Amino acid sequence: MTVLHWATISPFLLAILIPFLYKYARAIHTGWFVLVLPLVLFIYFIQQLPVTSNGDVISHSVPWVPSLGIHFNVYLDGLSVLFALLITGIGTLVVLYSIYYLSKTKEKLNNFYVYLLMFMGAMLGVVLSDNLIVLYVFWELTSLASSLLISYWYYRKQSIYGAQKSMLITVFGGFAMLGGFSLLYVVTGTFSIREIIANVDLVTASSLFLPAMLLILLGAFTKSAQFPFHIWLPDAMEAPTPVSAYLHSATMVKAGIYLVARLTPVFGGAAEWFWLLSGFGILTLCWGSISAIRQKDLKAILAYSTISQLGLIMCLLGLGSASLYYGSGTDTTMYSIAVLAAIFHLINHATFKGSLFMTAGIIDHETGTRDIRKLGGLMTIMPITFTISLIGLASMAGLPPFNGFLSKEMFFTGVLNASTLGIFNMPTWGILFPILAWVASIFTFAYCAIMFFKTFTGKFKPENYDVKVHEAPIGMLISPIILGSLVIIFGLFPNLLAYSLINPAMTAILPSLLEEGQTFDVYISHWHGFNLELLMTIGVVLFGTLIYLMMNKWSKTAFYLKERDPLNWFYDNGLDGVIKGSQVVTRMQMTGLLRDYFVYMCVFMILLLGYTMFRYDAFAIDTSNVTPIPIYIWILAILLIASTITIPFLNNRITTIIVVGVVGFLLALFFVVFRAPDLALTQLLVETVSVVLFMLAFYHLPELRKESFKPRFNIVNLLISIGVGGFVIAMGLSSLALGNDAKFASISEYYIENSKELAGGYNMVNVILVDFRGLDTLLEILVLGIAALGVVALIKLRFTGREDV
């Protein structure tokens, strides 16, 4: 494997070592061992910027399942390097922050860092994978790792609830996304993203274009918390603050953004793609900003602000995709400004939101609360935290000279340009985008003001806190200071990123707009004169300030008092309905009676086989090539039938076991007659052991009170028995009759021809079990392994008293 492959899987390798480091190096905080890896990876990806800045790519492939076209392909271009830097850069700062945030004596750091590294590796796999199936594997690993991190404090009910909600919603979207990937494979014959982009004409001309798009967007929307799937994100705030700063502001929630950006060359230019992204994006922006204003918890405010900002980025990607409708040769500056704004705001959001989550954690850590109704007057008590928060909130509110102001102005430019488009019914509906964007920005400014003034201004009241409030230690402040400094640097010198990160990422998203050797004109400046965007910003400040000043009036309304998102009602009641429905089905199915289980299985088999054989016209009888049946075969068959029929009428246990054994031995004799010695030997061994064990077990069981047995006639049992027997006979006769039909060719010829050549074995039965059906065997081993681990866990489990809290 190449260096890029090792960089992708290195977090998983380190995660294996964490339990040992935690156990044998307890004197050192485990985070110090972890810190080295993301820092090294960040430096490695920084070194690749000259390559991606020139428009070149780094691509390597390792075969995984070649027969299915699945390879571990890693691909580094302008878009993937941007996300890789966010994952490793923010990851480095989060690990450093966690060292001081999480106590090495009170917390189970081995679990925390294993989950965190698992997540980091999964995110790197998502953004670096060129193969859709490999991307999907890493995608679901992010959901699993995120759920484990959210439930890190597993003894808290809300942590478990948040983890479950996150898992259910994001995995549901992931399954839908897998369906979309499968449809793309059906159309293009490849799982490679680059090859799919190269065959985009096949995709757009296919009838599967829209279904594939909808399924993939379902995965992206659930992961990136777009309306109405955003409800999992606020409950995920039950995770420790380092997790919130990493997963839910800079990385995991950006996975859906990445997927949309990566597949824009495939689906961009279509009206459905344009409206779904821009429509749901602007709706999420408004819903998140309005919901944030009524929250009382600092992390809850930041959670809904994250939802809002993700909607902003998604909307911009949707609006920018319209440029692909026009194609190359058009005014790329006007049409691609939305994509430029999306990428720039993606970076800005990671800096100011990461710092804000960390300062919220510091406030919680040093005061014991995040409730803005208790906070206040912390400006002089925590001056460094105050300064970092001021920078982050001013940037998020869109105030100059911070980086958030620049991307917000570009956002206004993007929606204003989109409103003038003459396509996709924009002359009718386009005016809504700048209006909704402006309204959402007003609420964004308002909740930033609420968060700032309610926390840091006013009179400090020591009686509101259970601890002595003081500034955080310098180690906990380093990471938010670095992020706050980047907010200022990127605000004052935005073009530092223009051709190193932004232009290469735009090239990866909108490659068809550029001619050979051409690049996007990326230039970001603070002043563009007195234009409509500036007037919108002034209006945002004025009306946002007005909302804050009138807070005493509207904070008494029912709107403000109800913090919980109303859409949670649908999730909670829907989940309750699913649970109750499953309980009804389970009670119907799991009756505890073996007879009922056999009835269900047999009826299902009859229906499935009956439908299949009728569907493919597979019923046939042809005895012309059947050899005469010798008399001894008839004798064996009669003995077998007689023994089987006798069993239900026996009323003695030992006699019943013996007769069942006779049936098994007669089957073994049939295998001998039909020249299957391996099967005969296996049957004889299994039957002998079974009969002996059954007889030993039943011999020592107490006698039944009444051994007499009177068989009862049951028409249902008779019909099911006849149905199963009839379909098995029909299948056998049909297989014999259709054996020479090319449409129903026997698979046995394939095994005869390929057992030696492909599997290197002469024993066809063994080859089938071990090689041709090796995946079945592997999964059986996996099931047994999981069961063994469960037994070990139960043996080692020691309750501490917190499990039932």
**Averaged over 666-695, what is the pLDDT?**
87
Residue 431 has pLDDT above 50, yes or no: yes
Confidence of residue 740 (pLDDT cuts 50, 70, 90): low
**Averaged over 551-580, what is the pLDDT?**
88
Contacts of 776 (CB under 8 A, 6+ apart): 769
In a domain, 475, yes or no: no
DSSP 444-490: HHHHHHHHHHHHHSS---GGG-SS---PPPHHHHHHHHHHHHHHHHH
Q: Compute the distance between CA of residue 787 and CA of residue 258 in angstroms, rounded to an integer.
A: 37
What's the chain's average pLDDT?
89
In a domain, 661, yes or no: no
Residue 755 has pLDDT above 90, yes or no: no
Residue 60: in which H helix or E strand, if any?
strand 58-65
Tell me the pLDDT tens digit for each residue of 141-190: 999 999 999 999 988 999 999 999 999 999 999 999 999 999 999 999 99
Structural domains counted in the chain: 1
| Contact by Cβ (8 Å): 10, 41 | yes
In a domain, 464, yes or no: no
pLDDT computed for residue 113 by the predictor? 95
Tell me the pLDDT tens digit for each residue of 364-386: 999 999 999 999 999 999 999 99
Q: Compute the distance between CA of residue 746 and CA of residue 512 in angstroms, rounded to an integer.
A: 49
Q: Compute the distance between CA of residue 368 and CA of residue 363 in angstroms, rounded to an integer.
A: 8
Residue-number span of the structural domain to which 186 is assigned: 1-267
In a domain, 236, yes or no: yes
In a domain, 166, yes or no: yes
Tell me the pLDDT tens digit for each residue of 109-151: 999 999 999 999 999 999 999 999 999 999 999 999 999 999 9
Tell me the pLDDT tens digit for each residue of 475-507: 999 999 999 999 999 999 999 998 899 999 999
pTM of the model: 0.84
Residue 444 has pLDDT above 90, yes or no: yes
In a domain, 310, yes or no: no
Confidence of residue 347 (pLDDT cuts 50, 70, 90): very high
**Averaged over 88-110, what is the pLDDT?**
92
Amino acid at position 284, single letter: T
Tell me: cis bond preceding 462? Omega within 30 of 0 counts.
Answer: no
Residue 235 has pLDDT above 80, yes or no: yes
Contacts of 52 (CB under 8 A, 6+ apart): 58, 76, 77, 78, 81, 504
| Contact by Cβ (8 Å): 256, 140 | no
Confidence of residue 329 (pLDDT cuts 50, 70, 90): low
Amino acid at position 248, single letter: H
Confidence of residue 805 (pLDDT cuts 50, 70, 90): very low
Task: Choose between 516 and 144: higher pLDDT.
Answer: 144
Confidence of residue 560 (pLDDT cuts 50, 70, 90): confident
In a domain, 551, yes or no: no
Which phi and psi angles does 528 have, rounded to 5°?
A: -125, 20
Tell me the pLDDT tens digit for each residue of 1-59: 799 999 999 999 999 999 999 988 888 999 999 999 999 999 999 999 999 998 889 99
Residue 203 has pLDDT above 70, yes or no: yes
Residue 229 has pLDDT above 60, yes or no: yes
- H-assigned helices in 590-714: 594-615, 631-646, 653-673, 677-699
pLDDT computed for residue 471 by the predictor? 92
Q: Compute the distance between CA of residue 752 and CA of residue 768 in angstroms, rounded to an integer.
A: 10
Residue in 380, 383, 388 with CA at minimum distance from that of residue 358: 388
Residue 804 has pLDDT above 50, yes or no: no
Q: Compute the distance between CA of residue 117 and CA of residue 125 in angstroms, rounded to an integer.
A: 12
Least confident window among 43-47, 173-177, 741-745, 792-796: 741-745
In a domain, 682, yes or no: no
Task: Choose between 528 and 222: higher pLDDT.
Answer: 222
Residue 712 has pLDDT above 70, yes or no: no
Confidence of residue 708 (pLDDT cuts 50, 70, 90): low
**Averaged over 731-738, what is the pLDDT?**
80
Task: Choose between 628 and 387: higher pLDDT.
Answer: 387
Share of the chain above pLDDT 70, in %: 95
